[in-house]
Amino acid sequence: MKNHEGSAAQARIAPKFINGMDVSFLDEIEQGGGTFSDQGAQEDCMVIMKNNGVNSIRLRIWNEPAGGYCNLERTLLMARRIKDLGLHFLLDFHYSDKWADPGQQSKPAAWAELGYNELKAAVYQYTREVLEALQAQGTLPDMVQVGNEITPGMLWDDGKVDGDEYNNDAQWERFSGLVKSGINACKDVDAAINVMVHIDRGGDNASSIAFYDRFEQLGVRFDTIGLSFYPWWHGTLEDLKHNLNDLAERYGKEVIVVETAYPWTLDKTAGHTFVMEKEELLHEGYPATPEGQTKYLRDFITIVKETAGGLGAGFYWWEPSWIPCKQEWSVGHENNWSNLTMFDFEGRKLPSLKF
C-alpha cells in the first residue's frame, strides 16, 4: 500500500498543459469488437493516443447504469490501464445512473427518496467510497469533477437552480451544499486531488460569470474551472477566447476546456446519424474535413494556451474513439458522434490526433 500511495502522489503532478481525451465509451467499444490503428498498425487505442501526444484521460462514472459500463467495477479496470501507461487521470462524477448535463440531472434511483440532508451524506459517502476503491489499487485520480455540466444544478429537484421556480437563494444554498459534500469527500481522501467545477458555457461569458460568482459568494472552494465548448452550441472561438481570459483574470483559477469536438465529415452515405450534421452550423473557416478538424484543434489549443496569466491549463476532446462499431449501445440510443471522433469509421487515426 505504501508503494501505491507514493506512486499515486507522484502521479498527481499535472502535465504543464493537458492534451486530454475522454474515452468513457472505449471499454464498450472494445467489448463490441471495435479496433484502432495508426498508419496501418493495429494497437490499443490509449497507446495510440499516448504515442501521439495525449497525456491525460477522462472517464465518467455513473452510480448504477443500466448498461453496466461506466460503473465503479469498470472504472477500476480502466483506471488501471490509464495509470499503467503513466497518464494523468480525470474522473467525472455525474451523480446519476445515466447522462447528467444541462438538460437532465436526475438522481440515482437508489437516492430518489432521500431527504436533503440524507442526499448530502450520500454524495459524500459515494464519492469517498469510489475514490478509496481507486486509491486502494494505486490509481487515485489526479483530478475530479464534482458533477458534470452543472450549470442548472445537479441531483434535481433538490439541487436544481434552473428556471424561475428554482433560481433563488434557497435553491442555490442547497445546490452548493451538495457540491461541497462532494468536494469535502475528495479532499478527505487526499487533499492533493485537484477538484474541478464544470459548466457548459464555454462561449457565454455572462452565464459563466453568473454561475461562478454565485459559487464564490456561497464559499464553494474548488481548484479548477471546467467549461464545455462546442461551436455549434456555444459560440465562436473568439467568444471562447474572451470568456477564458475574463474568467482567468476574474477568479485567478486555472481553466480547462474539459469538453470540445469538431466534425471531420458530414457525409452520411454510410447510414450514420450525426448530432452535428448541418453545414450552416460549422464554424467559419473550418470545413468538416480531416484537415478542417485539425485546423480547428490547432487554433483552439492556441487560444487555450494563451489564456491570461498562463491559466489555460488544457483541454479534453469528448469521445475521440466512439466509432460506429455496433448498432446497440448501453446508453439506450445510437452513436450520433462518429463524425466528431479522431478516428474514422473504421478506427483509423485521423490527422487531428497528432499533436
**CA nearest to 293, candidates 325, 339, 256:** 339
Hey, CA dihedral for 18, 86, 88, 317, is it positive or negative? positive
Buried b / exposed e over 2-33, threshold 16 CB at 10 Å, is: eeeeeebeebbebeebbbbbbbbbbbbbeeee
Nearest to 22 by CA among 53, 42, 49, 41: 49
Among 149, 165, 291, 328, the active-site one is 149
* CA 287 – CA 282 distance, rounded (Å): 7
Residue pair 184/213 in contact by the 8 Å Cβ criterion: no
Pairing of strands 56-61, 18-22: parallel
259 is catalytic: yes
Cα distance between residue 105 and residue 108, in whole Å: 9
- Which residue among the candidates 28, 254, 259, 319 is catalytic per the annotation? 259
What's the distance, CA 341 to chain centroid? 15
Residue 317 DSSP label: E
- The whole-angstrom separation of Cα 119 and Cα 112 is 9
Beta strands in 118-211 (DSSP E): 143-146, 153-154, 159-160, 194-199
Catalytic residues: 149, 259
